[in-house]
């Protein structure tokens, strides 16, 4: 929390570290790079991508989100998941998340890392990158 872009153009020391982790340079969208970097810091070699749709392969999709799962928001204009972050916890229909490249308004092109509260209806998919045998994982 508290990480902010240096100039509002997908840049800054921490943002560039997230992007560098996935082989990308400053100036590129970084929500998926942030998620990948967090998993890397936790000792996981996967996921490692800057492309948010790549975080949701069928074998990793989960029905019921748990802490540390990845969530994805679908953007109809782009016809794909175009923003992602991490599930912190669920309370009823609300998901507390930790997201990079967002802002207080929840935009997908934001200025930092924020804790957000999102309603489940706004989330398209969840992915489990920690427990491959979890019962909630879709076949």
pLDDT in tens, 64-106: 999 999 999 999 999 999 999 999 999 999 999 999 999 988 7
Q: Note whether residue 139 is domain-resident.
A: no
**Is residue 114 in a domain?**
yes
What band does 134 get if pLDDT is binned at 50, 70 and 90? low
In a domain, 138, yes or no: no
pLDDT at 139: 41
Q: Which three-class secondary structure string do you get for the chain?
A: CCCECCCCCCCCHHHHHHHHHCCCCCCCCCHHHHHHHHHHHCCCCCCCCCCHHHHCCHHHEECCCCCCCEEEEEECCCCEEEEEEEEEEEECCEEEEEEEEECCCCCCCCCEEEEEEEEHHHCCEEECCCCCCCCCECC
56 inside domain: yes
Domain count for the chain: 1
* 91 lies in some domain: yes
Q: Is the pTM of this model over 0.85?
A: yes
- Quote the pLDDT of residue 107: 81
Q: What is the pLDDT of residues 34-69, one digit of tens each?
A: 999 999 999 999 999 999 999 999 999 999 999 999
Task: Judge whether 26 lies within some domain.
Answer: yes
CATH number at residue 53: 3.90.1720.10
* 39 domain-assigned: yes
What domain range includes position 41? 13-127
- Cβ distance 83 to 103 under 8 Å? no
């Amino acid at each position: 929390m508290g990480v902010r872009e240096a100039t509002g153009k997908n840049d800054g020391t921490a943002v560039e570290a997230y992007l560098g982790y996935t082989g990308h340079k400053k100036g590129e969208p970084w929500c998926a790079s942030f998620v990948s970097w967090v998993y890397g810091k936790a000792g996981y070699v996967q996921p490692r991508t800057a492309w948010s749709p790549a975080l949701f392969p069928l074998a990793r999709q989960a029905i019921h989100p748990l802490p540390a799962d990845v969530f994805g928001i679908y953007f109809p204009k782009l016809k794909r998941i175009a923003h992602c972050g991490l599930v912190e916890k669920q309370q009823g229909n609300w998901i507390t998340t930790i997201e990079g490249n967002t802002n207080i308004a929840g935009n997908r092109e934001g200025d930092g890392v924020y804790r957000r509260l999102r309603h489940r209806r706004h989330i398209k998919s969840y992915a489990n990158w920690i427990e491959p045998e979890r019962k909630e994982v879709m076949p």
